[in-house]
Homo-oligomer: A and B are copies of this chain.
Amino acid sequence: MKTNSSILVVGSVAFDSIQTPAGKADQVLGGSGNYFSVAASFYAPVKVVGVVGEDFPKSHLEWLQARHIDVSGIKVVPGKTFHWAGSYDQNMNEAKTLTTALNVFEHFDPTLETAHQNSDYVFLGNIDPILQQKVLQQVRSPKLIAMDSMNFWITGKLEELKKTLAQVDILSINEGEAYLLSGQKNLSKAAAYIRGMGPSVVIIKRGEYGATLFTQKGIFLAPAYPVDTVTDPTGAGDSFAGAFMGYLAEAGASREMMKSDPQKFESILRRAVLAGCVMASFTVEDFSLHRLMRLEASELVQRQNSLMQMIAP
C-alpha cells in the first residue's frame, strides 16, 4: 500500500448461506461492503459504512480493523444482521436468490462522519439509489465516484437510479444487469447507452469470462484469470470492484487526470481492471471471505504477473 488516499464504501455487511455444486456454507460472512473493503485494503486505506445487528461477530470487525479497515461507520444496532441465501447451479455465473432477510438493513440510513465525508474515493455498493444519493450529498469533492447496482433497483427504482448514475464517474455492473438497464442486447451498445446516462467509465462484469471496460478512449477486454476450481462465485463482483478502486487510489487516478492526461488515466484504468480480475479469481476459490482472509500480497503479485503473461500477444 503506497497511498494515504482513502476509499469510502457504503454497502451491505451480511451473513450469507450459500449452496454451490462444490458444497454449502451456512451463515458465513458476506455482503458487498465486506468483500469490497477486504479486497481494496490490499491497495489503500478503506472506510466502510454499513449496519449490522447485535448477532454480528465482534471478532470480524476486529479482524477488519487489524487490516487497517476503518469500521467506525459500521453501526451495530438491536436486531439481526442482513441475511442472504442463494444458490448456484452448474452455470456459476448467476446466483439464484433463495431468501433475503433485510433485518436491520431495512432501516439503513447512511450518515457520514466528517472523516468519511472527506474520502478521496467513493464506492456506492448496490444499495437503494435513494441512499446512494444521500451518500453523495454528504461527501466533499472526492477524486472519483464509482457505483454498482442490481436488477432489483433497475426494475424497481429506475428513475432514482438514473439520478445516481448522472452523478458518478464509473459504473461497475454485471452483464445481465447492463442489458436490463440499457434495453440493449449487445455489449458495446449497452455500454454506449449507459455511458450516455452519466458514467464516463463503464465496466461490464462477465463472470468467468472476465470484464470489459468502456471509456472515451475505447474498449479494453480483460479476461478472467482461469482458476482450477470455482467453489463459490459470491462476492466476486464486489471484490473485483474493491481491488479496482484500490488500484485507482494507489495510482492516484482522478476526474482531473481523466481530462488532463486521458492516456495515463486509461492506462491506470486497464491495470485496475486486471487487478479486479485477479482479486475475483481468489475470491471464488473458497466460500465467503475465506480465501481473501488468508491471501498474501505475494500471491496477488504472482497471479497478477501470471495474468499479464496470459494476455500478452
How far, in angstroms, from A270 to B271 measured CA to CA in the complex?
Answer: 21
Give the number of chain A interface residues (Cβ < 8 Å). 30
Residues in B neighbouring A308, C-beta threshold 8 A: 313
A226 at the A/B interface (Cβ < 8 Å)? yes
Interface residues as binary, A270-311 with B (CB distance below 8 Å gives 1, 0 otherwise): 110010000000000000000000000000000000001111
Q: Which of A32-40, A96-104, A182-190, A234-242 contacts B (4 or more CB under 8 A)?
A: A182-190
Q: Does the CB pair A226–B188 fall under 8 Å?
A: yes
How far, in angstroms, from A224 to B310 measured CA to CA in the complex?
Answer: 15
Q: Does the CB pair A313–B90 fall under 8 Å?
A: no
Residues in B neighbouring A229, C-beta threshold 8 A: 186
A223 at the A/B interface (Cβ < 8 Å)? yes
The smallest C-beta distance from A232 to any residue of chain B, in angstroms, reads 15
Residues in B neighbouring A274, C-beta threshold 8 A: 313
How far, in angstroms, from A137 to B222 measured CA to CA in the complex?
Answer: 42
How far, in angstroms, from A35 to B180 measured CA to CA in the complex?
Answer: 35
A228 at the A/B interface (Cβ < 8 Å)? yes
Q: Which of A71-79, A115-123, A138-146, A212-220 contacts B (4 or more CB under 8 A)?
A: A212-220
The smallest C-beta distance from A214 to any residue of chain B, in angstroms, reads 10
A209 at the A/B interface (Cβ < 8 Å)? yes
The smallest C-beta distance from A90 to any residue of chain B, in angstroms, reads 7
A255 at the A/B interface (Cβ < 8 Å)? no
A150 at the A/B interface (Cβ < 8 Å)? no
